[in-house]
Structure 1
């Protein structure tokens, strides 16, 4: 009597290192989707299992833009900047995909307001794609700050909600140093002015380049 087939979605959430050998033994499971189109790609992105993402796409040839029933890809499920960077820069996920509601991953994440780092990162990738950034930096402008360079724009709502944009009770964890510096900026008298907003944009750009902090505690989503 053969052993029962393991639940690949549970393994994707809790035991990605156990799942990878299972998928190598039966590669047909790699593109599995449940009744809602939820795939191992979506699960790996949601739980920040980056090695599993890489294995699915690079070794098992799963479509990085595999869509669920709402036509949303794994990028919509990314909850950390590291995951978004792996999907976009290593695995070449399409940031222009729009779900059934007409929103891109960046627009959806920005609207939800739960993972501002991811939204800002995707916005900067959009600007790079539009030619608005050169090597990740805005082009020089006359009489500008920061060495004559204009900082990239933030997603709508980030500056307004900066004091509450990292709600611990909702399960999101941002690098502590990054959060501390954001909170310090929020206390500046000129925070809503040009100087404060320039400083905020520069800080987020540092985070996107991996300069604002290194160690991160990633929690599983609670919902």
Structure 2
């Protein structure tokens, strides 16, 4: 009579780490029976999350974080999160934007992942470029005004006034009550830093002066704000 089949030994974290590159599906299968290994680390604090990031195994990474609730900022012995192990921008983006990794964590040497990639891989590395773009800010268009770090769309002008940049002609000036105001508008429009908040605030105040001046002088005409 055949002896009963002996139970297979339980997997270890070291075994699962060695399977990450070639047999990620075996890792997921093992975790269904040994879920405690999802957040386990080897002798150097290296975890399945670190390994899945390093090898770009996004299916394993997502399951570890979303199903087994492993800390996406788990630290190894060097104080480095899995983000430090990313080798492609795709993996780094998944960590930061999809799984909520903190890109500002500093390792034992006081460096962020961005700092380390710059130092060890150089500016051309795609992960460094991605992390840098998060810090400097993507350009976005809002209400027809380009918005980047430190530059925001100006508040709306008073009374529905529309300002178009360009050189002012005699006909265009029309009812501007004061040549000095005309000069100041031309001066602001010609500045290289026209989109900064400081210059936009000056323009807004100047236009307010024009509107108030016209309204006070033209008392015989009813002026109503345009409603689109």
CA positional deviation for 1:18: 1.6
Which 4+ runs in 1 deviate beyond 4 A? 132-135, 139-144
Structure 2 match to 1:4: 9
Selected match of 1:65 from 47, 56, 73: 73
Which secondary structure state, in structure 2, belongs to the residue aligned with residue 13 of structure 1? Answer: coil
Asked if 1:138 corresponds to 2:148, the answer is: yes
Structure 2 gaps of 5+ residues are: 1-5, 142-146, 153-190, 196-228
Structure 2 match to 1:119: 128
Structure 1 match to 2:209: none
- 2:74 and 2:22 mapped to 1: Cα distance? 21
Which secondary structure state, in structure 1, belongs to the residue aligned with residue 37 of structure 2? Answer: helix
- 2:33 and 2:98 mapped to 1: Cα distance? 25
Aligned residues of 1:127 and 1:133 also touching (Cα < 8 A): no
TM-score, normalised relative to structure 2? 0.57
How many residues align structurally?
Answer: 143
Aligned residues of 1:41 and 1:74 also touching (Cα < 8 A): yes
- 2:111 and 2:140 mapped to 1: Cα distance? 26
Which secondary structure state, in structure 1, belongs to the residue aligned with residue 20 of structure 2? Answer: helix
Structure 1 match to 2:110: 102
- 2:8 and 2:36 mapped to 1: Cα distance? 18
Structure 2 match to 1:183: none
- 1:133 and 1:127 mapped to 2: Cα distance? 9
CA positional deviation for 1:5: 2.8
CA positional deviation for 1:64: 0.1
Question: Considering only aligned residues, what root-mean-square deviation do their CA atoms show, in Å?
Answer: 2.7
Of structures 1 and 2, the one with the larger relative CO (CA 8 A, separation 6+) is 1
CA positional deviation for 1:100: 0.2
**Could you report, residue by residue, the CA deviation over 1:35-75 in whole angstroms, capped at 9, with x for unpaired residues?**
00001011000000011110000011000000000110100
Aligned residues of 1:8 and 1:19 also touching (Cα < 8 A): yes
Structure 2 match to 1:13: 21
Structure 1 match to 2:182: none
CA positional deviation for 1:34: 0.5
The structure number with the bigger radius of gyration is: 2
Which secondary structure state, in structure 1, belongs to the residue aligned with residue 51 of structure 2? Answer: helix
- 2:22 and 2:39 mapped to 1: Cα distance? 18
**Could you report, residue by residue, the CA deviation over 1:85-125 in whole angstroms, capped at 9, with x for unpaired residues?**
00000001000100000000111111111671100101111
**Could you report, residue by residue, the CA deviation over 1:173-205 in whole angstroms, capped at 9, with x for unpaired residues?**
xxxxxxxxxxxxxxxxxxxxxxxxxxxxxxxxx
Structure 1 gaps of 5+ residues are: 149-223
